[in-house]
Amino acid sequence: MGDVINTAALVQSGSTSAADVVSACLGRIKRRDKSVNALVSYDDDRVLADAARIDKKRASGKSLGKLAGVPVVVKDNICTEFSRTTCGSKILETYVSQFNAFVVDQLINADAVIVGKGNLDEFAMGSSTEFSLHGGTLNPWDTNRVPGGSSGGPAVAVASRMVSASLGSDTGGSIRQPASFCGVVGLKPSYGRVSRYGLVAYGSSLDQIGPFTTSVDDAALMLEVIAGHDGRDSTSVNQDVPTYSSALNEPVEGKRIGVCAACFAEGLSDDVRQSVEQAIEKLRDAGCEIVPIDLPHMKYAIASYYMIAMAEASSNLARFDGVHYGYRTEQPQDLADMYASSRGEGFGAEVKRRIMMGTYALSSGYYDAYYLKALKVRRLIKEDFDAAFKRCDVIALPVAPTTAFAIGEKIDDPLAMYLSDMYTVFANLAGLCAISLPCGFDAAGLPIGWQLMGPPFGESTLLSVAHQYQNITDFHLQTPALAAD
């Protein structure tokens, strides 16, 4: 049973108080975060007051919510009224939202305690959490390596056991890839399952919020709390939220696991290939049927994805104009210069590069060749998955071609950084649900993750297969030395 479930049960029953849970959590943060820089902000007084309120609620005879007293970190592109939401950007350095994101209110209503905000690549654009106003986050398994990104802070907060759960956002792999690099569970729900209200938009047709946890049963409980319909996000789907955590032991015998040989071909490191293949064998041993599938347009996914993501980013980030909120340049010559200089000084290198590429792909003369072409290829990719899911229940594949890479290794080579997302962008392009979970360690002792993908709104089956894999393996129980103090 996972830490989230355990903690909530202890606080609900009164065996322990939310105040004790949260005090211990703050102690771990103070000891460990200086080594990894996962959190961009936290506030002891507010956190202790929240915990006291939960304990008082219980003392007054009221029953507590599903996440009673569970400390949670939230990525710093998810709006909170009680602290800054910086997106790791100078342009939002002092921004305090006037409202909570839907998921934040859901956590609070379930009696969770939001202890702080997690570091990220600026505006969630990156795969390494190196591009942040607050400095880079480090991998707790080896602090010379990146934790992955863009949700590196929330991933590391869980991997170093400062908290037992966190929320990230996933536009092309930004939950699953850091989960893989840090040895934790990362779930990207189906597009439309979780409201994006209060998530600072990057690629609106791709973005989705999801949890990091150390175990699949915890992830199922977290999803139960944050999923649901919200009229303030027009892409939020009005469909009942199943009790995911009670369907985890649904039998996996006879479930068909799709495997695409092309996902195991060139570009994949040997350590990762072997571990993922062994994980698939474990499912076969558990009674699953392994079926070959074909994804004919796989090799075009990265190009399609980056065109769409950058085009959407260039539109979404047009709102940062130095007028309503955010950074404004000191001495603008005129209105046009105020826009251009505020944006030029406020955005970092990777964000500017993506705005430039997106604007180019949308500009007159290039729109058809790049943006529209990418959308047509997106349909073909989605049709590949529609066909594949007629033949299988879940698809198994790697999360990333390698384990965590060295800090600085890809900083001057944006294309190499983009190509490392080759296994994760499918789920965002096609609106699938997908989960990353630990399946081994490489020769250097770095965690390896594998990925299971399900059809849109197929979370119940996805989570039950993943949970039963964890029942027969112990990779997810390993912790970095840093978490031992």
Partner 1 sequence: MANSIDADKVRHVANLARLHVSEDEVQRYVGQLSRIFDYVDLLNEVNTDNVEPLTHALPITNILREDVVRPSLSTEQALANAPQSDRGYFLVPKVLDQESS
| Least distance to partner 1, CB of residue 442, Å | 28
Q: What is the Cα–Cα distance from 225 to 245, expressed in whole angstroms?
A: 11
Instruction: Judge whether 352 counts as a catalytic residue.
Output: no
Q: What is the Cα–Cα distance from 167 to 151, expressed in whole angstroms?
A: 8
181 binds partner 1 (CB under 8 A): no
User: How many other C-beta atoms are found inside a 10 Å radius of the C-beta of residue 52?
Assistant: 14
Instruction: Judge whether 150 counts as a catalytic residue.
Output: yes
* Residue from 45, 61, 254, 324 in contact with partner 1 (CB under 8 A): 324
Nearest to 89 by CA among 104, 75, 77: 77
**Number of residues in contact with partner 1, rule: CB under 8 A?**
69
141 binds partner 1 (CB under 8 A): no
Residue 311: φ, ψ to 5° = -65, -45
Q: What is the Cα–Cα distance from 406 to 330, expressed in whole angstroms?
A: 37
178 binds partner 1 (CB under 8 A): no
Q: Which residue stretch of 138-146, 164-172, 324-332, 466-474 sits at the interface with partner 1 (rule: CB under 8 A)? A: 324-332
Question: Binding mask 182-211 vs partner 1 (x if CB under 8 A, - otherwise)?
Answer: ---------xx------------x------
| Least distance to partner 1, CB of residue 323, Å | 5
Q: What is the Cα–Cα distance from 368 to 166, expressed in whole angstroms?
A: 40
DSSP bridge pairs for 165: 72, 213
DSSP bridge pairs for 39: 118
The residue (of 191 and 212) whose beta carbon lies closer to partner 1 is 191
* Residue from 78, 114, 237, 276 in contact with partner 1 (CB under 8 A): 237
CB 28 within 8 A of CB 187: no
The residue (of 204 and 402) whose beta carbon lies closer to partner 1 is 204
Tokens representing residue 454 in the block: 């399900």
Nearest to 214 by CA among 156, 276, 142, 165: 165
| Least distance to partner 1, CB of residue 155, Å | 25
Q: Which of 128, 150, 436, 460 is catalytic?
A: 150
Nearest to 426 by CA among 388, 370, 469: 388
In the chain, helix, strand, coil percent, each to 5? 45, 15, 40
Residues 450-479 touching partner 1, rule: CB under 8 A, are 456
Instruction: Judge whether 164 counts as a catalytic residue.
Output: no
Rounded to the nearest 10 degrees, how much is the dihedral formed by the CA atoms of 187, 191, 192, 194?
20
Residues 404-433 touching partner 1, rule: CB under 8 A, are 414-415, 418, 429-432
In the block, tokens 């989705």 appear at 208
* Residue from 140, 322, 348, 449 in contact with partner 1 (CB under 8 A): 322
* Residue from 26, 79, 155, 374 in contact with partner 1 (CB under 8 A): 374
Burial 165-194, CB ≥16 within 10 A → b, else e: bbbbbbbbbbbbbbbbbbbbbbbbbbbbbb
* Residue from 28, 31, 57, 328 in contact with partner 1 (CB under 8 A): 328
Q: Which of 151, 160, 166, 174 is catalytic?
A: 174
The residue (of 166 and 420) whose beta carbon lies closer to partner 1 is 420
| Least distance to partner 1, CB of residue 373, Å | 5
The residue (of 63 and 98) whose beta carbon lies closer to partner 1 is 98
The residue (of 6 and 204) whose beta carbon lies closer to partner 1 is 204
334 binds partner 1 (CB under 8 A): yes
* Residue from 59, 335, 387, 481 in contact with partner 1 (CB under 8 A): 335
* Residue from 378, 410, 467, 476 in contact with partner 1 (CB under 8 A): 378
Q: What is the 3-state secondary structure (H, E, C) of 117-182?
A: EECCCHHHCCCCCCCCCCCCCCECCECCECCCCCCHHHHHHHHCCCCCEEEEECCCCCCHHHHHHH
* Residue from 61, 234, 240, 285 in contact with partner 1 (CB under 8 A): 234
* Residue from 6, 93, 242, 360 in contact with partner 1 (CB under 8 A): 360
- Label residue 237 left, alpha or beta by phi (over 0 means left) and psi (-120 to 50 means alpha): beta
The rounded Cα 364 to chain-centroid distance in angstroms is: 34
Q: What is the Cα–Cα distance from 133 to 351, expressed in whole angstroms?
A: 12
The set of catalytic residues is 75, 150, 174
- Where on the chain is the footprint of partner 1 (CB under 8 A)? 94-96, 98, 191-192, 205, 231, 234-235, 237, 297, 299-300, 303-304, 306-307, 314, 318, 321-328, 332, 334-341, 343-345, 347, 352-353, 355-357, 359-360, 363, 369-370, 372-380, 382, 414-415, 418, 429-432, 456
